[in-house]
Structure 1
Amino acid sequence: MAHWYNTYKPVKFFNVDVRFGIIFVVSLLHLRLYTVGFVVLAYIVGVLIENRGLGFAGALRAVRSYLAGPQRPPKLVNKKRSKIDYQRVRLPGDREDENRVIALQPFEKQ
């Protein structure tokens, strides 16, 4: 029986992360020389990545970060969110907006 500190270890398939092993299992459906070469290449890449200390998910994040570059693009103008005050009460000196009609009653003191 496994101890509690062994429960978070990644699942291995041929000494590589199981997600690299999925490529091997899928290649069995289409067994050709180039698919075997692709599986061997994927296995070598998986071993190299794991020797560097990355898992499969970390390697995908590293590739995505390399492709995205160091700068993050700004949000488009139509994607920016604006502040909305749903409890705004129109005061007597406020003008009405041309685009919408404010149908609120004036504030009365009691």
Structure 2
Amino acid sequence: MAKNQVQDMQDQVNWHWRNSMRPVRFFAFDARAAVSFLFLLVYFRMITFIFAILSTFAFYMLEKYGLTFNSAMRRFRSYLAGNKRPALMSFGRRRMKDFG
């Protein structure tokens, strides 16, 4: 019993270190999707509502595929750069890979 209480206290003390890299959540969605709803509160128009719904859906799809926003942007950037890197010889060129 006392051992469990000590373990619980240690868990409470170290709780923030374990969870420091988890994505920030706003209800069930990524917190970045809430920014569009902030714009919706300020400028309530149909186009802003559609933008808020589409951005929430985009973050949902990223989460469904197991990507964070930062990793999705890195993946998009590598897609734009392509697999040809002229400064390297042919053996040093990277190949497009899908890890999904």
TM-score of the two chains, using structure 2 as the length reference: 0.61
Q: Please provide the CA RMSD for this pair.
A: 2.0
Distance in 1 between the 2:34 and 2:56 partners? 8
Runs of 4+ that moved beyond 3 A: none
Distance in 2 between the 1:73 and 1:34 partners? 43
Structure with bigger helix share is 2
1:47-92 per-residue CA deviation (whole Å, 9 max, x = no partner) reads 0100111111111112222222222354xxxxxxxxxxxxxxxxxx
CA contact (8 A) 2:39 2:48 kept: no
Distance in 1 between the 2:86 and 2:38 partners? 39
Query: Which residue does 2:25 correspond to in 1?
Result: 12
Q: Decide whether aligned partners of structure 1 residues 6 and 66 sit closer, same or farther in structure 2, where only a CA change above 3 A counts.
A: same
1:64 equivalent to 2:41? Answer: no
CA contact (8 A) 1:17 1:46 kept: yes
Q: Decide whether aligned partners of structure 1 residues 18 and 72 sit closer, same or farther in structure 2, where only a CA change above 3 A counts.
A: farther
Aligned residues: 74
Structure 2: which 5+ runs fail to align? 1-11, 88-100
Structure 1: which 5+ runs fail to align? 75-110
Letter in 2 for 1:42: S
Distance in 1 between the 2:86 and 2:50 partners? 38
Distance in 1 between the 2:75 and 2:32 partners? 16
Distance in 2 between the 1:28 and 1:73 partners? 48
1:8-37 per-residue CA deviation (whole Å, 9 max, x = no partner) reads 211112322222222221332221101101
